[in-house]
């Protein structure tokens, strides 16, 4: 038996003819940065997300960073972030000169606990940065309410959640602005790095378009000290080939997740993800928890099942954040989650037979 964690080659080979045609088109266009391909993909992706604007940028980290810059968030400001997330969420805040203020998640969904957010808001808080972790939408309605009452921006880190729905509404238009990543392993992945911002805030969109391109609207005339963070023509053209398949890919991920939910239910010590009635997750990752996580991972590897830990160390305990003076025990939920989580294989080219093989391997590993 052998089930890889994710088969990126297979995922892209499905689209080989379209990707090769797109490559040839861009090659022969003679135009490689900020042109018709990027504009066309931006428009399609914005439409997919129900947003007025899509702005292609270099990667997901930059997408978050440019939203914060676009809202003028900087030194002295604070931004609420989840205590358990991929470190990019925090780094985007830090790179603006602002301070990430961690808030613990709900244990069932791993997403920001709205009940804890209000207590973390202070005089310098400017925004709530909610992550739709593992492809499951965060509980946005209470966050929208808090943001409105407290005059804060609500920003989505949707890097893991392209196409996920909350109360029927697709992510990317549930706050003031949203950040997406097209890193190859994401639900919509490029053949390299890429990212996008979606927003219906016209002024923000205009500022981000300027910031991503050296602070310039007219070539060689610079309004603000900007950055170089653009989605290039080639990646945009490749993404345009894959976007129409996204819903189908997400549907396949749901089928795999449904098998896991059914076949792995009731195993002692194994905690499965909780799916609120309002959530339509896209299962970027299917994450289980077990107190003997490392033993389980090893036993699965011995049976040819690939797993990964997302993530082994919470941001507050990373050396990168040593200057903040955090210590073990500061965010016990995030710490427990990071000690116990394990991501099982899931992806758009995985078969139901493979999912059943994974379930059998898990049962064997846990003598269940
Ligand atoms: C991948 C990811 C990012 C960053 O995206 P990149 O394109 O790798 O910069 C940000 N936030 C989350 C939650 C992610 O999973």
* pLDDT tens digits along 42-81: 999 999 999 999 999 999 999 999 999 999 999 999 999 9
Which atom of ligand 1 sits closest to the CA of residue 186? 1
Cα(159) to ligand 1 centroid in Å equals 5
- Mean pLDDT, to the nearest integer, of 300-312? 97
- Cis ω on the peptide bond leading into residue 85 (within 30° of 0)? no
Question: pLDDT tens for residues 312-367?
Answer: 999 999 999 999 999 999 999 999 999 999 999 999 999 999 999 999 999 999 99
Cα(61) to ligand 1 centroid in Å equals 6
Q: What is the dihedral of CA 252, 348, 50, 196, to 10 degrees?
A: 160
* Mutational pocket test of ligand 1: of 56, 57, 61, 309, the residue with most ligand atoms within 8 Å of the beta carbon: 61
pLDDT of residue 228: 98
Which atom of ligand 1 sits closest to the CA of residue 62? 9
Cα(30) to ligand 1 centroid in Å equals 30
Element (DSSP H or E) covering residue 101 = strand 99-103
* Mutational pocket test of ligand 1: of 83, 183, 196, 311, the residue with most ligand atoms within 8 Å of the beta carbon: 183
Residues of the chain above pLDDT 90, percent: 98
pLDDT of residue 1: 63
Pocket of ligand 1 contains residue 89 by CB under 6 Å? yes
Which atom of ligand 1 sits closest to the CA of residue 194? 7
Of the pLDDT bands very low, low, confident and very high (cuts 50, 70, 90), residue 133 is very high
Pocket of ligand 1 contains residue 160 by CB under 6 Å? yes
Q: How many CA atoms lie within 13 A of 260 on its CB side?
A: 29
Residue count (the chain): 368
The Cα 276–Cα 168 span in angstroms is: 12
Question: pLDDT tens for residues 270-300?
Answer: 999 999 999 999 999 999 999 999 999 999 9
Pocket of ligand 1 contains residue 111 by CB under 6 Å? no
The closest of 168, 139, 172, 143 to 158, measured between CA atoms, is 172
The per-residue DSSP string of 287-340 comes to EEE-TTHHHHHHHHHHTTB--B-S-SS-GGGSGGGGGGT--TTSSHHHHHHHHH
CB 196 within 8 A of CB 55: yes
CB 246 within 8 A of CB 162: yes
Of the pLDDT bands very low, low, confident and very high (cuts 50, 70, 90), residue 116 is very high
Cα(37) to ligand 1 centroid in Å equals 23
The Cα 302–Cα 77 span in angstroms is: 48
């Amino acid at each position: 038996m052998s089930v890889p964690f994710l088969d990126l080659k297979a995922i892209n080979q499905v689209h080989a003819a379209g990707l090769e045609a797109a490559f040839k088109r861009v090659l022969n266009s003679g135009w490689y940065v900020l042109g018709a391909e990027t504009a066309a993909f931006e428009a399609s992706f914005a439409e997919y997300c129900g947003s007025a604007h899509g702005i292609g940028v270099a990667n997901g980290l930059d997408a978050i960073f440019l939203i914060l810059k676009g809202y003028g968030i900087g030194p002295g400001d604070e931004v609420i972030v989840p205590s358990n997330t991929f470190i990019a969420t925090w780094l985007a805040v830090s790179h603006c000169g602002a301070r990430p203020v961690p808030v613990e998640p709900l244990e069932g969904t791993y997403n920001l606990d709205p009940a804890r957010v209000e207590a973390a808001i202070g005089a310098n808080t400017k925004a709530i940065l909610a992550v739709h972790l593992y492809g499951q939408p965060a509980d946005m309605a209470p966050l929208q309410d808090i943001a409105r009452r407290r005059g804060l921006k609500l920003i989505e880190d949707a890097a893991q959640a392209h196409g996920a729905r909350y109360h029927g509404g697709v992510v990317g238009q549930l706050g003031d602005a949203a950040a997406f990543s097209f890193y190859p392993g994401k639900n919509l992945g490029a053949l390299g790095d890429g990212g996008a911002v979606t927003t219906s805030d016209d002024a923000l969109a205009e500022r981000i378009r300027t910031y991503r391109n050296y602070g310039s609207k007219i070539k060689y005339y610079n309004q603000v000290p900007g950055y170089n963070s653009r989605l290039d023509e080639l990646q945009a053209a490749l993404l345009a080939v894959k976007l129409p398949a996204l819903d189908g890919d997400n549907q396949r991920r749901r089928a795999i997740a449904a098998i896991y939910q059914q076949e792995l239910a009731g195993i002692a010590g194994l905690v499965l993800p909780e799916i609120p009635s309002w959530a339509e997750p896209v299962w970027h990752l299917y994450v289980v928890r077990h107190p003997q996580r490392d033993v389980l991972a090893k036993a699965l590897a011995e049976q040819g099942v690939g797993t990964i830990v997302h993530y082994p160390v919470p941001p507050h305990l990373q050396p990168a954040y040593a200057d903040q003076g955090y210590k073990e025990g500061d965010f016990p939920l995030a710490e427990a989650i990071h000690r116990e989580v394990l991501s099982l294989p899931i992806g758009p080219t995985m078969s139901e037979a493979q999912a059943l093989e994974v379930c059998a391997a898990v049962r064997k590993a846990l003598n269940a």
